[in-house]
Amino acid sequence: MNETIGTIIIIIGVLFDAIGCIGLVKLPDVYNRLQAATKCVTLGTCGIMFGIFIYSGFTSLGIKALVAIPLIFLTSPTAAHALARGAHLFGVKLWKKSVVDRYREDKESNQND
Amino acid sequence: MRRIVLFIIAFILWLLLTWTLNWQHLLVGVIVAIFVALLFGNMFVEEPRKFFQIKRYFWFLVYIPLFLWECLKANFDVAYRVLHPKMPIKPGIVKVKTGLKSEVARTMLANSITMTPGTLSVDIDGQYLYIHWIYVRATEVEEASRMIVSKFEPLLARIFD
């Protein structure tokens, strides 16, 4: 029973990962791609981990998978944050149909001061 | 004080990772946890007293389901935008203001914003956060803050500030 539920959760996790990858290919610029990559891949991977936990229960393997979930939730957004900031500081432009860029406006006004 | 808290956390993490109560494992765990506490103690949180305030754990338990719900919504949001043939996106970077004081609280706010539908934090500058929004609905600071930050801010203030 647990094995069936675990397998189903793992499949759902893989589906979310797949959607994240489609987004990574399809969306226009670095920042939009990071959005898809962070959200879907984080929850997808955590889903896989949780599926492993359900599958194997309170064993050494299951607990390791469970401990990995909060670590992924803490590190993955931080990595996305660092990548987005680095890309912006390096001068990667937003997509041409973007509406507003307060970050660049503020940086330019700081340089003029 | 900081070192003791860090030692306890490191040791609990070690116990979870090994998941045996063999005395050899415990001994290695104690030694490693002491090393970690000595090396990284001064980089750890500013006020370890907060770890002993039970109220904070209660609010943390309230925060987890909210966070997971937002995270799930974010995933369906991304799936909708990606799989929709016309790709309904209107991206931009907006600026929002937060009232949170401590560094840990701001970090957690940035992480929570990244995991909520359509938003990704790019940089933080004192009170202001720069947020990449996949479908911009408000460009002014106040309105964007109300739409993005206000969901998490009161809870995070109770947990970390």
The model's pLDDT over A22-49, given as tens digits with 9 standing for 90+, comes to 888 888 888 888 888 888 888 899 999 9
Q: Provide, as residue numbers in chain B, all residues whose Cβ is less than 8 Å from the Cβ of A57.
A: none
The answer, yes or no, to whether ipTM is higher than 0.85 is no
A26–B89 CB contact, under 8 Å: no
**Predicted TM-score (pTM) of this structure:** 0.83
Checking if the pLDDT of A99 tops 80, the result is no
Q: Provide, as residue numbers in chain A, all residues whose Cβ is less than 8 Å from the Cβ of B136.
A: 99-100
The model's pLDDT over B123-140, given as tens digits with 9 standing for 90+, comes to 888 788 888 888 887 777
Hey, is the C-beta of B91 within 8 angstroms of any chain A C-beta? Answer: yes
Q: What is the pLDDT of residue B109?
A: 87
For residue A64, the Cα-to-chain-centroid distance in whole angstroms is: 21
The token pair at A30 is 């670095």
Hey, is the C-beta of B71 within 8 angstroms of any chain A C-beta? Answer: yes
A35–B120 CB contact, under 8 Å: yes
Flag residues of chain B having pLDDT under 70. Answer: none
The model's pLDDT over B135-161, given as tens digits with 9 standing for 90+, comes to 887 777 777 778 778 888 888 888 877
User: Which residues make beta-bridge pairs with A4?
Assistant: none
Q: How far is CA A89 from CA A104, A105, B126, B136, in A?
A: 9, 13, 18, 22
Checking if the pLDDT of A113 tops 70, the result is no
What distance, in Å, lies between the first and last C-alpha atoms of chain B? 19
